[in-house]
Structure 1
Amino acid sequence: MLRRLLAIFEPFVLALLGTVLVATFLPARGTAANAFAWLTDAGIVLLFFLHGAKLSREAIVAGARNLRLHLAVLASTFVLFPLLGLGLSALPVFSPEMARGLLFLTLLPSTVQSSIAFTAIARGNVAAAVCSASFSNLLGMVITPALVTLLMTGADGNVGISAGTLRTIALQLLLPFALGHLLRPWVGGFVGRHKKLVTLVDRGSILLVVYTAFSAAVIEGLWLHVSGVDFALLLLACSLLLALVIAITWWSGRRLGLSREDAVVLLFCGSKKSLASGVPMAGALFPAAQVGAVILPLMMFHQIQLIVCAFIARRMMSEDQRT
């Protein structure tokens, strides 16, 4: 029974859960907290440098084609999701911390790796999935902070984008990404040959952000404000959110007259949110003590989307094989 339960979770999700537990019982304090904060900033810079180096010019050029599909994916990611997020986060059943995290989740770009993988399993248009997912992440570095400023600035004004935050975004996210992309002719081959190293940096950076964020949140009393009822409501909200987006994107693909292969791309690229981009962005956009609560809904949604989309992709593959 335990083995079947663990099989549901990918190793990285277990690592995330373990990191949260370590931060809960052994949060970083004092000098250690400062050291982890410095390591986290360095990890984020390296992470986005590698993201820039991985994005090929060919993918950008190819993205100009099949414009209707790519616009549909972007509309789902940056219009449909935020609208649903505004509705769900406004419900009075959520605490302010959970509502903030739920809304932030809906403002993030789509995933890259899992969107492409599930599209391939379901026999969709893999080339189009690469373009759509890459564009979503590229534009997300500008659109997500803009949406946070537009939709998450409270009456006290302490959630908006300050000059310091803009500087952090530019130096930690945009500049490393642009530099990595400009240096792609020289470093792209190395990045392509050492995918395991890139994955290690990718996931290691996320774990550093999670540990640093939850350490600060725990010290500020995170678990005193998050109850079992909050978790249950959050699970229900994330499940409902994913179900609505999956249903709407699949229906929209058929209404737009997309081929089955392109409709699969809209389904999988338009229904996901990126943990890899979301965690570092939260670290740059929010005060340290708030980041733990902000990324909690994202971590939950990440696992739900993997389980549900894996099931859908395999089912679509079986149906395609029978036709």
Structure 2
Amino acid sequence: MKRPRFLPDNMTLLLLGVVTLASLFPARGAVASGFDHLSIAMIALLFFMHGARLSRQAVVAGLTHWRLHLLVMAFTFAIFPLMGVALKPLLLYMLTPELYVGILFLCVLPSTVQSSIAFTSVARGNVPAAVCSASASNMLGIFLTPLLVSLVVVAHGESHSSIDAMLKIVYQLLLPFVAGQIARPWLQAWLEKYEAVLRMVDQSSILLVVYVAFSEAVVQGLWQQLPPVMLASLLGISALMLAIIMVLTTVISRRLGFNKEDEITIVFCGSKKSLASGVPMAKVLFASHAVGMVLLPLMLFHQLQLMVCAIMAQRYAKR
């Protein structure tokens, strides 16, 4: 049975459940320390699987459409961060500085892979180009996201030092990713056979990191610092940012003369931010007490982008 388009997806429901669990029963002491070490190992496994799944052939094959890919990367790693900086007066008026850091972190993340490709396919867009752009975005994000965090977020004092963050990126994210790419020829058949099981491992990794992050935040007094009216403001700001980027991707792709199939790819790949990459990166890049607050904007934006893109994909498909 098809899920109504306005209902949250299963991953969002699981995230809400984990946040509720962390709010009622936060991990403390030795338990928290054990979960923290386990989450580091799970993050390494997650990026190893990312590396093993990404097809280098698809990326190389799509590179001929360089104008489209450059525009998608410009939206993902330039226009999005500039929007976050430009909206600073409004955001700091409505949100706490910690939540604004979360907004900035959201703005520097790479695009999603699975949902960008899926929505492009439903909308009858350029699927090979979507595969290339989404894959390249995630590979570049391993390097560009930490760099952009050091440029636009470190001034707020919530991230680790740049050297510490880069070392963690190398041994927790980059090395497992490269190892996965190297191992891909031997693992490809196995990955395809057990895709459903591996997706559960991916989701479990993200849920564990979220539980650890929100446990720490709850112990530090997260919900005392975040009244319901601020949550509502955060939701409204997320909707505003998504609306701005969707309009920009649509208008600019048309002004530059892209056909409808390429426009669809640009809209869906250039407007999304990856929860799967964002959660482990936040764990690596930010102090443990700040991770829960930093992830809140990403979690809200994640659900909004899925609902809005589902509606747009159906409308594109009817053209």
Q: TM-score of the superposition, structure 2-length normalised?
A: 0.96
* 4+ long deviations beyond 3 Å: 4-7
Deviations 1:227-280 (A, max 9, x none): 112111111110000001000101111111111111100000000000000000
The amino acid of 1:46's aligned partner reads L
Mapped to 2, the partners of 1:7 and 1:301 lie a distance apart of 14
Mapped to 1, the partners of 2:165 and 2:144 lie a distance apart of 15
In the alignment, what sits opposite 1:302? 302
Task: Note if contact 1:90-1:99 (Cα within 8 Å) is conserved in structure 2.
Answer: no
Task: Note if contact 2:5-2:307 (Cα within 8 Å) is conserved in structure 1.
Answer: no
Mapped to 1, the partners of 2:208 and 2:262 lie a distance apart of 36
**Which has the larger displacement, 46-55 or 191-200?**
191-200
Q: Say if 2:80 is the partner of 1:81.
A: yes
Write the mapping of 1:120-199 to structure 2, written as runs, cut at 5 A.
120-154=121-155, 157=157, 159-199=159-199
> What number of residue pairs does the alignment pair up?
315
Alpha carbon RMSD of aligned pairs, Å?
A: 1.5
User: For 1:8, what is the secondary structure of its paired residue?
Assistant: coil
Unaligned runs of at least 5 residues, structure 1? none
In the alignment, what sits opposite 1:14? 13
Q: 1:225 to 1:6 in 2, by over 3 A?
A: farther
Mapped to 1, the partners of 2:200 and 2:159 lie a distance apart of 31
Mapped to 2, the partners of 1:267 and 1:256 lie a distance apart of 13
Mapped to 1, the partners of 2:21 and 2:36 lie a distance apart of 16
Mapped to 2, the partners of 1:229 and 1:43 lie a distance apart of 35
In the alignment, what sits opposite 2:100? 99
The amino acid of 1:94's aligned partner reads L
In the alignment, what sits opposite 1:33? 32
Mapped to 1, the partners of 2:203 and 2:191 lie a distance apart of 15
Mapped to 1, the partners of 2:186 and 2:114 lie a distance apart of 23
Task: Note if contact 2:95-2:230 (Cα within 8 Å) is conserved in structure 1.
Answer: yes
The amino acid of 1:278's aligned partner reads G
Overall identity of the aligned pairs, in %: 51
In the alignment, what sits opposite 2:61? 62
Mapped to 2, the partners of 1:54 and 1:159 lie a distance apart of 29
Deviations 1:32-79 (A, max 9, x none): 101111111111000000000011120221232100000000001011
CA apart distance, 1:161 = 3.4
**Which has the larger displacement, 242-251 or 182-191?**
182-191
Mapped to 2, the partners of 1:7 and 1:315 lie a distance apart of 15
CA apart distance, 1:160 = 5.0
The amino acid of 2:87's aligned partner reads L
In the alignment, what sits opposite 1:252? 252
User: For 1:154, what is the secondary structure of its paired residue?
Assistant: helix
